[in-house]
Chains A and B, each alone.
Chain A
Amino acid sequence: MVRPQDRKFVTADPEKCIGCCVCEYACSMTKEKTYNPTKSRIRALRMGPLTNLSVTCRHCEDPACVAACPKDALTQDENTGIIRVNEEACNGCAWCISACQFGAMMIHPEKKVVFTCDSCEELGEPQCVKWCPEEALNFVTAQTLAQKSRISAVKNLFQEVKEKTVQK
């Protein structure tokens, strides 16, 4: 049994992500055997040259999408936190899309049912993370993410340390 705090999800580092969409292409290539960002489980958003970030499912605790589904078509895997879609039960009503704060639930353009990131579990690791040319995507636990932020905050506080360790 995996502890909830050990669940991994895909997250983008805002310092490194350049909004190039390679993740979208890698995702649709892996999952759909074609190049089509509208079939990608991760989407890049570019709101300006300095504001761009890729976003996908964060495998939340008590996921709002699951709670919102009137057809009980969504369930969360207890171990991995992955949201599973029962495609027979889903009628594409999009309640889950309204509920998700990250826009990580999407309607598949052909199947007309919702789909979201499953961390490429059948391949052992998310392919977008593997392909990201900027190493901006990470497959991490919330714990690791918090550690990273903590480390960077402390480094920023101690300017001296920053100068010695951060190379650009």
Chain B
Amino acid sequence: MWRINKMFAYAGKILRVDLTTGKVSTEPLTEQMAKSYIGGIGLGIRLLMDNSKPGTDAFNPDNPIIFATGPLSGTMGPTAGNGYAVVSKSPATGGVGEAKAHGFFGPDLKRAGYDAVVITGKAEKLSYLWIDDDNVTVIDAEHMRGKSPYETDVQIRNDLGDYYIRVSAIGEAGEKLCRFAAIINDEFRAIGRTGMGAVMGSKNLKAVAVRGTHDVNVADMEGFKEFVKMIHERMKGPATKKYKTLGTPENVLVLNSLAALATRNWTNATFEGAQRVSGEYLNEHYVKKIVGCATCGMRCDHIAVVPEGPYQGSTSRLEFECLWAMGPLCGVDRLDAIIEAMRIVNEYGMDGISIGVVVAFAMDCYEHGVITKEQTDGIDLRFGNAEAMIAIIHKIGKREGWLGNALAEGVAKAAEIIGNGAEKYACHIKGLELPGYDLRTLKTAALGFSVSFRGACHLRNGAYSPDVKGKVNRFKIEKGRGKMIADEGNVYNIIDSLIVCKFSRGTYYDGTKDLAKYYTLATGIPITPEELIKDGERIENLARLFNIREGKGTREFDTLPWKIKNVPVPDEGPAKGVVVSEEEFQIGLDDYYAVRGWTPDGIPTAEKLAELGLGDLTYIVQKAQGGA
């Protein structure tokens, strides 16, 4: 038995690849770096900061794209054992781009011997990166141009002759620089948000293929084994019941009952067809099997198959967010069409949330006469027209026609191209399309989404949760919400740096205490829950600093979409007439910045940075304040 280096669980090594020159090198991961940034998005954002120059465009070859594993990747740890994160400057927001995926790719990257891979440059022609333990090569992928991520996966495994090679790949959308292109592994597991697939496309990088055969060892095998056993037991209990039974689509009827199910591009807050696209209906009529990721027996992947009709045989994994985006948000109440839409979105390799918001935006523009039938190439883009939705998705995936090309830029940039008042219908924050909640009736969520460093996101601080669970008055923003959001934000940063699946977060009954124990059992590095929370806060500030450095991180970028502030909920019931007022929103921002120890402009203070050990980056806040 041998280990790659003297660290436990961590590989202790970072791989660098320059696609322009083909140069490959490695460097050690220091224990200091490991303990301060954990892994996953924390380590990834620090590497992004340190390896990029201010103002570099997301599609510039110098913009690095970082594949990072977590400390637990490659171990038997359920969910944490199987993740990886991708970090880069986002072509959608111009700030931090990051997303995580589980499945089978992450553990092999760790076993190949790397905590992170920093990829820069641009290959001369379409290529893929082949990481075979210590042997790293760049291989021609021209014969895979236009292929879906899954076809690419199969092709590479055939070309290299090993079924157990794991592949993370882009589809046509990534090749064509769609700004919400995803990277997909294991057929339907996506590095979905913030357009990481487009960054790969800009580097002529079709895929990363990996085979890792080294051992991954933990510091305390017996203790770790007992901990894993305990989590397995908890996973059989109530903490994960939702994910194992109806799955996240359960949210459809829950949010609908709260008038929080964004419908027809945030026109309505309830959907008359909710029953027909509910989790209950989906499971009864379409779900064939529920499968899972490596090392995780929780199983949550609801594999839906269309049994009859025009889309017969269409198969896809379906979760709430994508179901909502291509369902209620587009006014579509046909699950067969939603499953088909999800399937083709995975084939083109696009973010299943953003694509739905983009289509709904186009429908809203069409219904308001902002775009004409001529401009849609004859597609009747009315809300609820499922065939039209699928037709326009194909056009966006291929960047076909004037509208398809414009929409592939995401709603923010598409609105600029379309003009004619289209920006009113573009529902995004910082350039990232909104996920599945009506922020008019979930106002903690409104504040939380607006301050998320990667743009509109429900998974940067889980701010929808106190609203949905009724812990606060969800119809107003008041003092105190800032602390809720900041505290949860820190925890979510830890979760995404350990790369623990958020579906399993309920199994850590003692919260950060459990997570700290998990970390120490695996790595042998002692850490207290308080230190772990500090790491979460450090990562939040670091991401904010990157955004500030890129001119996207101050108060004026923490915004809400026009419709959320200006179009009252029309549906009858307690939510009727609600919008987020400018006044309460500004109170919320003040509260959040104060809790964070930031200035009223939303800039971390030099003292805060010193406290977090980020003193080397003080120049960024000095420059921002000097220029303000």
- Contact residues of A with B, CB < 8 Å? 18-22, 25-26, 29, 32-36, 38-39, 45-46, 48-50, 52, 109, 131-134
Contact = CB atoms under 8 A, between A and B. Distances in A.
A25 B288 contact: no
Which residue of A38, A39, A109 has the most chain B CB atoms within 10 A of its CB atom?
A38
Contact of B187 (A32, A34, A48, A131): A48
B294 A21 contact: yes
Given A25-B76, A49-B301, A20 B315 contact: no
Interface of B: 1, 74-76, 78, 81, 104, 111, 163, 186-188, 213-218, 221, 225, 232, 235-236, 288-299, 301, 303, 305, 315, 317
Nearest 4 pairs of A and B residues by beta carbon: A133-B297, A25-B76, A34-B215, A18-B291
7 contacts: A18-B290, A20-B292, A20-B294, A34-B1, A46-B104, A46-B186, A50-B289
Given A20-B296, A32-B1, 20 more contacts: A18-B292, A18-B297, A20-B291, A20-B297, A29-B76, A32-B215, A33-B221, A34-B216, A35-B215, A36-B111, A48-B187, A49-B187, A49-B289, A50-B288, A50-B289, A50-B291, A50-B303, A50-B315, A133-B298, A134-B299
Contact of B81 (A25, A32, A50): A25
Contacts of B111: 36
Contacts of A33: 1, 221
A29 B299 contact: no
Contact of A36 (B104, B216, B236, B291): B216
B494 to A, nearest CB: 22
A37 to B, nearest CB: 8
A134 B297 contact: yes
B606 to A, nearest CB: 43
A20 B291 CA distance: 8
A35 B232 contact: no
Nearest to A50: B289
Contacts of B294: 20-21
B113 to A, nearest CB: 12
A39 B111 CA distance: 12
Nearest to B211: A38
A36 B113 CA distance: 12
A134 B290 CA distance: 11
A132 B213 CA distance: 23
A109 B1 CA distance: 11
Contacts of B295: 20-22, 25
Contacts of A36: 111, 213-216
A93 B299 CA distance: 39
A35 B75 contact: yes
B173 to A, nearest CB: 21
A36 to B, nearest CB: 5
A133 B79 CA distance: 13
B485 to A, nearest CB: 34
Nearest to B317: A49
Contacts of A131: 232
Contacts of B299: 18, 20, 134
Which residue of B217, B291, B315 has the most chain A CB atoms within 10 A of its CB atom?
B291
B291 A52 contact: yes
A132 B299 CA distance: 12
A32 B232 CA distance: 22
Given A34-B216, A36-B214, A133-B232, A49 B1 contact: no
A26 B187 contact: no
Contacts of B76: 22, 25-26, 29, 35
B74 A35 contact: yes
A35 B216 contact: yes
Contacts of B188: 49
Given A35-B76, A36-B213, A36-B214, A49 B292 contact: no
Contacts of B291: 18-20, 49-50, 52
A30 B137 CA distance: 34
A45 B163 contact: yes
A35 B232 CA distance: 17
B279 to A, nearest CB: 15
Contacts of B296: 20, 22, 133
Contacts of A21: 104, 294-295
Nearest to B188: A49
Which residue of B78, B215, B225, B290 has the most chain A CB atoms within 10 A of its CB atom?
B215
Nearest to A109: B213
Contacts of A19: 291-292
B589 to A, nearest CB: 43
Contact of B303 (A26, A45, A49, A133): A49
Contacts of B104: 21, 46
Given A29-B225, A49-B291, A22 B297 contact: yes
A26 to B, nearest CB: 7
A34 B74 CA distance: 10
B297 A132 contact: yes
A57 to B, nearest CB: 19
A35 B71 CA distance: 13
B421 to A, nearest CB: 43
A46 B225 CA distance: 25
A25 B229 CA distance: 13
Contacts of B236: 133
Contacts of A22: 76, 78, 295-297
A80 to B, nearest CB: 26
